[in-house]
């Protein structure tokens, strides 16, 4: 039988010897251990003098008129193992109950069971890994299905692109899908962006950088408003733009060149969207 090694208190071993002597009063008892053999009468005293931190496996042999009963106790990784031999089926369980109760042993946790290197535990781990591998496609599909898709609109100058790419890195770490007009295609940028805006979008973000204002950004905002998408506006210090469709929209400002200053408001916006009744 396997128990938690944490529940084993070696100072209770003499009590176990006394319990066994009470159950088998006319039997000779021997304890075999790495340090030597002791016969009954001295076993308990010798056990009391041992250094418990160096506990090693040992057997208790009980010579009864019907034969020898052997109780083997040993620690194995995070488990405490109890093996009993030489008893009838009825005696076997009673003796196990006696050992468990006297030593105060408790059932092992799943982690403790899997800590040993037995073939049984190795097979359990292999089966669990196989199950995880089988479940991986469905888990990935479920995760992908619940990811929020955020379209990010920005001016295609180097400064604005750098801000957008830093934002993309953060969004990927936060489990958000970054969608934009980036990536070359042999057609107009406006056609490419408009097509991507027609797909599944959960949040529309627009970055107004300090470099210059773009009329195209307002056209993309118009498309987002027309689709009734949630709109979040990120405004860099020093940016100048006409409000237009954004007159009633709250802005998330950030210091010049430090779009990370808008990361917390972005997470707050995502949390708000996720809490909506029709959220993905």
Q: What is the pLDDT of residues 137-184, one digit of tens each?
A: 654 454 455 678 899 988 888 999 999 999 999 998 888 999 887 665
* Residues linked to residue 67 through DSSP beta bridges, in sequence order: 64
Nearest to 240 by CA among 212, 215, 265: 212
In the chain, count of helices (H) and strands (E)?
9, 11
Nearest 10 degrees: CA dihedral of 262, 268, 269, 271?
150
Neighbours of 103 (CB within 10 A): 22
Instruction: Determine the angle formed by the axes of helices 13-23 and 89-103, rounding to 10 degrees.
Output: 150
* Residues linked to residue 243 through DSSP beta bridges, in sequence order: none
Following DSSP, what letter does each residue of 50-88 receive, concatenated?
Answer: S-GGG---EEEEEEETTEEEEEEEEEETTEEEEEEES--
Which two three-digit tokens encode residue 115? 């800590």
Q: What is the pLDDT of residue 49?
A: 55
Q: What is the pLDDT of residue 159?
A: 92
Domain 147-274 top-level CATH class: alpha beta
Q: Which residues of the chain are modeled with pLDDT < 50?
A: 35, 37-42, 51-54, 139-140, 142-143
> In sequence order, which ranges of 147-184 are alpha helices (DSSP H)?
158-173
Distance, CA of 146 to CA of 279 (rounded, Å)? 9
How far apart, in Å, are the Cα atoms of 160 and each of 154, 174, 244, 253, 266?
A: 6, 21, 21, 15, 18
């Amino acid at each position: 039988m396997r128990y938690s090694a944490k529940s084993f208190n070696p100072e209770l071993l003499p009590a176990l010897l006394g319990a066994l002597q009470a159950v088998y009063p006319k039997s000779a008892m021997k304890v075999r251990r790495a340090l030597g053999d002791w016969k009954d009468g001295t076993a308990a005293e010798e056990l009391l003098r041992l250094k418990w931190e160096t506990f090693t496996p040992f057997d208790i042999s009980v010579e009864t008129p019907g034969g020898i009963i052997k109780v083997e106790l040993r620690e194995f990784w995070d488990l405490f193992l109890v093996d009993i031999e030489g008893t009838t089926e009825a005696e076997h369980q009673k003796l196990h109950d006696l050992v468990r109760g006297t030593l105060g042993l408790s059932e092992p946790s799943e982690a403790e069971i899997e800590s040993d290197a037995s073939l049984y535990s190795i097979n359990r781990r292999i089966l669990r890994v196989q199950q995880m591998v089988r479940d991986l496609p469905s888990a990935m599909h479920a995760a992908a299905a619940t990811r929020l898709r955020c379209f990010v609109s920005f001016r295609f100058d180097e400064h604005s692109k750098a801000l957008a790419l830093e934002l993309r890195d953060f969004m990927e770490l936060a489990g958000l899908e970054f969608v934009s007009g980036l990536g070359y295609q042999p057609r107009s940028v406006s056609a490419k962006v408009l097509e991507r805006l027609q797909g599944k979008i959960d949040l529309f973000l627009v970055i107004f950088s300090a470099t210059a204002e773009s009329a195209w950004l307002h056209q993309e905002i118009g498309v987002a408003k027309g689709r009734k998408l949630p709109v979040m506006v990120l405004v860099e210090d020093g940016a100048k733009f006409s409000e237009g469709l954004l007159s009633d929209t709250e802005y998330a400002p950030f210091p010049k060149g430090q779009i990370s200053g808008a990361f917390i408001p972005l997470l707050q916006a995502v949390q708000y969207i996720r809490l909506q009744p029709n959220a993905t």
